[in-house]
A and B are shown apart, each in its own frame.
Chain A
Amino acid sequence: MASVEIQNVEKHYGGFHALKDVSLTIDEGEFIVMVGPSGCGKSTLLKTIAGLETVTSGRLQIKGRDVTHMEPGDRGIAMVFQSYALYPHMTVEENMGFGLRMAKRPKAEIDAAVARAAQILRLEEQLQKYPKQLSGGQRQRVAIGRAITRSPDVFLFDEPLSNLDAALRTQMRVELSTLHDRLGSTMIYVTHDQVEAMTMASRIVVLNGGRIEQVGAPLDLYTNPVNLFVAGFLGAPRMNFVAGHVTSASGKAASVTCGDSLKVDFVNLVEAPAVGAAVTVGVRPEKLRIGNQATGPCFPARVRLTEYLGRETIVYADAGALTTSGSDSGTGVFTVQIGDIQPFMPDAPVTIGFDTDAAYLFASDGKTLSAAKPVTKI
């Protein structure tokens, strides 16, 4: 039985169409991460599952029960808020036991549940403290503890780590994954941080403009994005996108020319575009190679800037008239990621190349045309 079933959910705020025909089935024990740019509807979708927002139309089921019109407290969910939303006038213990107290559970049961959550989250020492006496990481754990004590069918997380500093965020990420393994509960997690999405999710849901763009395992999405949006959203630094047009096409093969210095011959396309059609070629920064050893398609460029990150080097290279669109740097330069430290002189002329197999081809409407690539099985 599916843990959560979202069927054709629509949400309008006045004139704003926040969720457009969203359908998703979540299995028992899955860790679902919903990502997307701000305003994509991911938080709205989470709140409709929680019941904090009503749906305009559509149906929501949790463990086979229709919860579409139920109050949040009756849905069998627990939620961790971005602001933690701890009750400031209650101690940690009272905060964590509040849900059970509202459910009129006996005191012994509440105490046992709070003690268990406190033990899991290492909060035994803090039970009598008030939220304002706790550090950010401890508050975060209390918020999670409040969710655990209720033993919900589904855990909902709304950007829970975004108020923590980088070191603590990594720590909490690991703790949350461990917690998921330990409890085995269904978790739905909203974030704008793709590292959290890639590392924690059993499946990622990419949302854009109120619509689900793609659902799948992290590496599937990373390797085989269904469209240009997903390809650009997952992966940091972002994929390099170059505009081009189809010069010849036959069967499932097509030649694409970008600017006047790059020509890519695609084979095994899902569908061949028409000759003359505008398309976009995409290559991930780690798939670009710098140097003379280039065998596949290649083009000349000049090094604009080099970032040495210790274990890798990021090179921003200017290919003149051949420009990328929508890159992290906000300019038209190419981003190349090299797996070790290599020195580059500023303004040095280089040749950038890649394997055609590593390149993606997107139609003008964003749809991926290139064939699916093999995914590393974990």
Chain B
Amino acid sequence: MNRSWRRHRHWLAPTLFILPGALLFGVVIILASIRTIWVSFFDWDGVGPMQWVGLANYQQLAADPQFYVSLKNNVIWLVMFMLAPPLGLALALLLNQAIAGMKVLKSLFFVPLVLASVTVGVVFTWVYDPTFGLLSLIYGWFGATAPALLSDEHLVSFAVVIAALWPQVTFCLVLFLAGLNNLNEDLIGAGRVDGARGFAMLLHIVLPQLREVSFIALAITVIGALRSFDMVAVMTSGGPFGSSTVLAYQMYEQSIFSYRFGYGAAIATVLFAIMAVFIVWYLRTLLRPEQETA
């Protein structure tokens, strides 16, 4: 026993350690994904018998105007979320100064990370409230009336995204702060000796060192934008008239409220396909440097 363990432990030990995670991932992610794609070919209310309909769910989806509203909103999320990495970097550069009291300030910036996103949603719903919200107060100071952001079908998505950006920017801020902490001091010194300063220093010396952090921040932001759900659920429930619905929320609504699990699964499959593009790009970029060193 002892001897065969010693002979095989170089592969046995890692396997044993990875097994629980792999099992969980296999059941919850892989199996569930395959099952979802399978369900998308059926008409199913979630409890009764499943009826094979082939691609009918997808054909219906292609003709569903709500689907295009959701898709458009996902694009708005994606584009606006791209502000999070640069804003996070800018704040990180600002907060990365050796000034007294900076630690207190930093921890204040971390607040949205501690809050549940549902809480952030509720807080912003109050801020946007046209009768007693912070926004209406500010408008009131100038003698203006605040727009009812969450009931305006053209502005509602932007209002929700701005709320969601708050924790997302903070997340990028934390990533970049950690990255800035790991800057090579000699490289900065060499840059200063070479006469790089201000923006040139940032562009040629600092940013290249933050490449990996930026990549992670970008990838997580993209995925965060695509799987946006909780903020929409808390702040608008997709309203008014479905104008702030995103794909993930539409899937949830169709499956849970309308008992159309086959249709919901079809939406999930489309969302999965969109995400897969980014995930493939992410994995390719992530795995490439490892191949180089190998």
Residue of A nearest to B189 (CB): A52
Q: Assess whether A72 is in contact with B200, with CB atoms less than 8 Å apart.
A: no
Contacts of A50 in B (CB 8 A): 189, 193
* A171, B75: Cα distance in complex, Å: 61
Q: Which of B190, B196, B197, B208 is in CB contact (< 8 Å) with A81?
A: B190
Q: Assess whether A87 is in contact with B190, with CB atoms less than 8 Å apart.
A: yes
How far is the CB of A171 from the nearest CB of chain B, in Å? 23
With contacts A81-B186, A87-B187, A102-B200 taken as known, whether A51 is within 8 angstroms of B192 at the C-beta atoms is yes
The 8 A CB mask of A58-98 against B (1 = contact, 0 = none) is: 00000000000001111001110111011111000000001
With contacts A81-B186, A85-B184, A85-B186 taken as known, whether A74 is within 8 angstroms of B193 at the C-beta atoms is no
A-B pair count, CB < 8 Å, reads 62
* A179, B196: Cα distance in complex, Å: 26
Q: Assess whether A87 is in contact with B192, with CB atoms less than 8 Å apart.
A: no
Contacts of A52 in B (CB 8 A): 189, 192-193
A42 within 8 A of B: no
A235 within 8 A of B: no
Residue of B nearest to A53 (CB): B189
Number of B residues whose C-beta is below 8 Å from A? Answer: 17
Residue of B nearest to A83 (CB): B186
With contacts A52-B189, A79-B190, A81-B189 taken as known, whether A88 is within 8 angstroms of B195 at the C-beta atoms is no
B217 within 8 A of A: no
Contacts of B194 in A (CB 8 A): 73, 98-99, 102, 146, 150
* A132, B187: Cα distance in complex, Å: 15
Residue of A nearest to B186 (CB): A85
Q: Which of A74, A81, A98, A103 is in CB contact (< 8 Å) with B204?
A: A98
Residue of B nearest to A73 (CB): B195
Q: Assess whether B193 is in contact with A103, with CB atoms less than 8 Å apart.
A: no
Residue of A nearest to B192 (CB): A72
The 8 A CB mask of B189-230 against A (1 = contact, 0 = none) is: 111111111001000110010010000000000000000000
Interface of chain B: mostly helix, strand, loop or mixed = helix
Q: Which of B186, B192, B195 is in CB contact (< 8 Å) with A103?
A: B195
**Interfacial residues of chain B within 173-195, with CB under 8 A of chain A in the complex:** 184, 186-187, 189-195
Contacts of B191 in A (CB 8 A): 87
Contacts of A98 in B (CB 8 A): 194, 196, 204
Contacts of B211 in A (CB 8 A): 89
Contacts of A102 in B (CB 8 A): 194-196, 200
Number of A residues whose C-beta is below 8 Å from B? Answer: 25
Residue of A nearest to B201 (CB): A102
* A98, B192: Cα distance in complex, Å: 11
Contacts of A74 in B (CB 8 A): 195
Q: Which of A72, A82, A83, A87 is in CB contact (< 8 Å) with B193?
A: A72
Contacts of A71 in B (CB 8 A): 192, 195, 197
With contacts A89-B208, A98-B204, A102-B200 taken as known, whether A77 is within 8 angstroms of B193 at the C-beta atoms is yes
Residue of B nearest to A89 (CB): B208
How far is the CB of B131 from the nearest CB of chain A, in Å? 54
Q: Assess whether B193 is in contact with A78, with CB atoms less than 8 Å apart.
A: yes
* A78, B189: Cα distance in complex, Å: 11
With contacts A71-B197, A73-B197, A102-B195 taken as known, whether A87 is within 8 angstroms of B189 at the C-beta atoms is no
How far is the CB of A24 from the nearest CB of chain B, in Å? 20
**Interfacial residues of chain B within 243-290, with CB under 8 A of chain A in the complex:** none
With contacts A102-B195, A102-B200 taken as known, whether A85 is within 8 angstroms of B189 at the C-beta atoms is yes
* A89, B208: Cα distance in complex, Å: 7
Contacts of A79 in B (CB 8 A): 189-190, 193
**Interfacial residues of chain A within 127-178, with CB under 8 A of chain B in the complex:** 146, 150
* A72, B196: Cα distance in complex, Å: 9
How far is the CB of B164 from the nearest CB of chain A, in Å? 33
Contacts of A86 in B (CB 8 A): 190
Contacts of A88 in B (CB 8 A): 208
* A199, B100: Cα distance in complex, Å: 47
User: In the complex, which of the residues A71, A79, A83, A87 has the most CB atoms of chain B within 10 Å of its own CB atom?
Assistant: A87
* A149, B69: Cα distance in complex, Å: 59
* A154, B189: Cα distance in complex, Å: 16
* A118, B196: Cα distance in complex, Å: 22
How far is the CB of A214 from the nearest CB of chain B, in Å? 29
Residue of A nearest to B195 (CB): A73
Residue of B nearest to A98 (CB): B194
How far is the CB of A162 from the nearest CB of chain B, in Å? 13
* A198, B279: Cα distance in complex, Å: 59
**Interfacial residues of chain A within 37-52, with CB under 8 A of chain B in the complex:** 47, 50-52
How far is the CB of B101 from the nearest CB of chain A, in Å? 18
Contacts of A89 in B (CB 8 A): 208, 211
* A72, B190: Cα distance in complex, Å: 9
* A313, B196: Cα distance in complex, Å: 53
* A84, B211: Cα distance in complex, Å: 21
Contacts of B208 in A (CB 8 A): 87-89
Contacts of B192 in A (CB 8 A): 51-52, 71-73
How far is the CB of B186 from the nearest CB of chain A, in Å? 4
Q: Assess whether B205 is in contact with A87, with CB atoms less than 8 Å apart.
A: yes
Residue of A nearest to B200 (CB): A102
How far is the CB of A94 from the nearest CB of chain B, in Å? 9
With contacts A52-B189, A79-B189, A81-B186 taken as known, whether A87 is within 8 angstroms of B195 at the C-beta atoms is no
Sort A-B residue pairs by CB-CB distance and give the 4 closest, nearest first. A73-B195, A85-B186, A99-B194, A85-B190
19 contacting pairs across A/B (C-beta < 8 A) = A52-B189, A52-B192, A71-B195, A71-B197, A72-B189, A73-B192, A73-B197, A83-B184, A85-B187, A85-B189, A87-B190, A87-B204, A87-B205, A89-B208, A98-B196, A98-B204, A99-B195, A102-B194, A146-B194
Knowing that A51-B192, A89-B211, A98-B194 touch, tell me 13 more A-B residue pairs with CB under 8 angstroms.
Answer: A47-B189, A50-B193, A71-B195, A74-B195, A81-B189, A85-B187, A85-B189, A86-B190, A87-B204, A98-B204, A99-B195, A102-B194, A102-B195
